[in-house]
Structure 1
């Protein structure tokens, strides 16, 4: 009788511990879910190439207004710094004008993370000058010569938005320029500083992103003192050698020589908010925001046509 009672007591204790442990594990899992969220709720840090901050802010505003339980924190940075922050673990989602190279990608492969990468728009590198300058156009070859330190005889100097920016990286890749010369090149901290310099000086050609220029047309107080240069379409064998302004139609037609893709890079290992935000930006609503902002969406959003049987 005594053995039977002892066995019942032990069995009861085992069941109690099992149930308690199960509840504790469930609570921990629920806390983790609350912390990391799912595809439509939770918190998400996103590293953004600072040349793309204006359009990404628009996307985030609409997304958070639609999904109240989501909170997206944008971390703006020049491209080189942004990639480094990603590799340091500051965020697993980023919006950039390039994908990661093999060395950078290897960091995530070691963690067995399969990325979800989507193109979301087309942007461009834009050259801006003071409106009092007589110049209306420039060739990419001339810009590359200035980068290399050559005097092209027209009182030109390049005003860069940042030495770590995506705009400079693109120009260096095109011209296979290993090292830029400081003789005719000045580096600022960001695109706003470039615009301020160009508005006050006539000796420079500013280098910024197309989305930065679109935003400046709405918000920069001295915008009337600045204009864009047309760029010669001569980088490829299919180029016609003509000069084209940076605008939505020329980007869409592939006529502007310095266009560039915009990607959302999602390296979250699970079905998190990064995937939900990616789906929004690549979906119909997100692509309409790109179109309305005068960028070129990766996929053209559909048009809704209402047909009525009779007119009232």
Structure 2
């Protein structure tokens, strides 16, 4: 009788174990995959590390990809969140709609595409008009630019053929054909920096968060022996104050021409770990991290100060 009881009990436990659903993650614990455009690697790393520091049972596997690949991971249910520069297109949203997933898009910051040159290149000012002529093939050499002091052709350096940095710049200047441009692509923003550091004729394009955190040793090291170009929207600027760099105040005041949004896209269908991270980033102390990185948070962190006489 006793052995029969244990056999029945074991079968019940097996049935329960086979039919029970795994526990869902929640805002303070669990593990999810995040896809992120590689140009936002320093930003995403610091945000996820800070959140895991608050909630030790919250674990993030971050996969860094070119922007379109990161979005594809989200659509294919290979990632819960994606850090990118745009919202989903109607056709992409349609993929989620077919699965009855509303999804979400939260703008968390304003970022900038930084133009970097070798320290030997003292011509660190450029206009949007000059950039337009470079990307339409009218200007090919440094000597053709106003006050250009470098000889030789301009080599445009990007992190990837499918880079959000490249797509953003081509869209700004309405360029659809690049075969006649002198473009060199690497495998990461970091490799762009290294290439420019070794090549005085290079003009590199990177996400500014790679070099904008003056308190981060890696950021300081990467910025060594580089110049960040000032960019002017004026056709004929007459003074240095007509040019702006992709750093915090000029991003926030919308003075830097090559600024862009940072979005977190979500496909979460329950109040889970992804939503917890998004709330932290967009409405909590995460905005302090965004500010520390030199970007402009969409929602500033409110500090209350009580003055006592």
Q: Same fold by TM (over 0.5)?
A: yes
1:28: which partner in 2? Answer: 20
2:86: which partner in 1? Answer: 98
Corresponding position: 1:116 with 2:128: no
CA gap 1:234/1:44 in 2 versus in 1, 3 angstroms: farther
Check conservation: 2:211, 2:222, Cα contact below 8 A: no
- Residue 293 of structure 1 and its aligned partner are, at CA, apart by 1.9
Q: Once the two structures are superposed, what CA deviation does each residue of 1:45-75 show, in whole Å capped at 9, x if it has no partner?
A: 1101111110111111111111122111111
- Residue 41 of structure 1 and its aligned partner are, at CA, apart by 1.2
Give me the whole-angstrom Cα distance separating, in 1, the residues matched to 2:172 and 2:289.
Answer: 30
Check conservation: 1:234, 1:257, Cα contact below 8 A: no
Give me the whole-angstrom Cα distance separating, in 2, the residues matched to 1:231 and 1:77.
Answer: 28
1:205: which partner in 2? Answer: 203
Give the secondary structure class of the aligned counterpart of 2:291: helix
The size of the alignment, in residue pairs, is 282
Give me the whole-angstrom Cα distance separating, in 2, the residues matched to 1:247 and 1:195.
Answer: 17
- Residue 114 of structure 1 and its aligned partner are, at CA, apart by 0.6
Q: Once the two structures are superposed, what CA deviation does each residue of 1:223-265 show, in whole Å capped at 9, x if it has no partner?
A: 3310100011259xxxxx9321221111111100011111111
Alignment gaps of 5+ in structure 2: 1-7, 143-152, 236-240
Give the secondary structure class of the aligned counterpart of 1:207: strand
Matches within 5 A, 1:222-233: 223-233=223-233
Partner of residue 194 from structure 1, selected from 171, 181, 192: 192
Matches within 5 A, 1:26-105: 28-29=20-21, 32-33=22-23, 36-105=24-93
1:219: which partner in 2? Answer: 218
Check conservation: 1:50, 1:77, Cα contact below 8 A: yes
Partner of residue 156 from structure 1, selected from 154, 171, 179: 154
Check conservation: 1:147, 1:181, Cα contact below 8 A: no
CA gap 1:144/1:162 in 2 versus in 1, 3 angstroms: farther
Q: Once the two structures are superposed, what CA deviation does each residue of 1:149-208 show, in whole Å capped at 9, x if it has no partner?
A: 333442322111111111111111112211213542111111111111111111010011
Check conservation: 1:42, 1:273, Cα contact below 8 A: yes
Partner of residue 163 from structure 2, selected from 162, 165, 173: 165
Q: Once the two structures are superposed, what CA deviation does each residue of 1:3-34 show, in whole Å capped at 9, x if it has no partner?
A: xxxxxxxxxxxxx99xx69x9389713xx22x
Check conservation: 1:233, 1:244, Cα contact below 8 A: no
Give me the whole-angstrom Cα distance separating, in 1, the residues matched to 2:115 and 2:109.
Answer: 20
1:286: which partner in 2? Answer: 286
CA gap 1:261/1:43 in 2 versus in 1, 3 angstroms: same
Aligned-CA RMSD value: 2.5
Q: Once the two structures are superposed, what CA deviation does each residue of 1:264-301 show, in whole Å capped at 9, x if it has no partner?
A: 11111222211111111112211111112221111111
Partner of residue 181 from structure 1, selected from 179, 182, 195: 179
CA gap 1:94/1:276 in 2 versus in 1, 3 angstroms: same
Give me the whole-angstrom Cα distance separating, in 1, the residues matched to 2:141 and 2:164.
Answer: 27
Tell me whether 263-272 or 198-207 shows the greater mean CA deviation: 263-272
Alignment gaps of 5+ in structure 1: 1-15, 236-240
Check conservation: 2:157, 2:204, Cα contact below 8 A: yes
Give me the whole-angstrom Cα distance separating, in 2, the residues matched to 1:222 and 1:24.
Answer: 55
TM-score under structure 2 length normalisation = 0.84
- Residue 215 of structure 1 and its aligned partner are, at CA, apart by 5.2
Q: Which structure dedicates a bigger proportion of its chain to helix?
A: 1
TM-score under structure 1 length normalisation = 0.83
Highest CA radius of gyration, 1 or 2?
Answer: 1
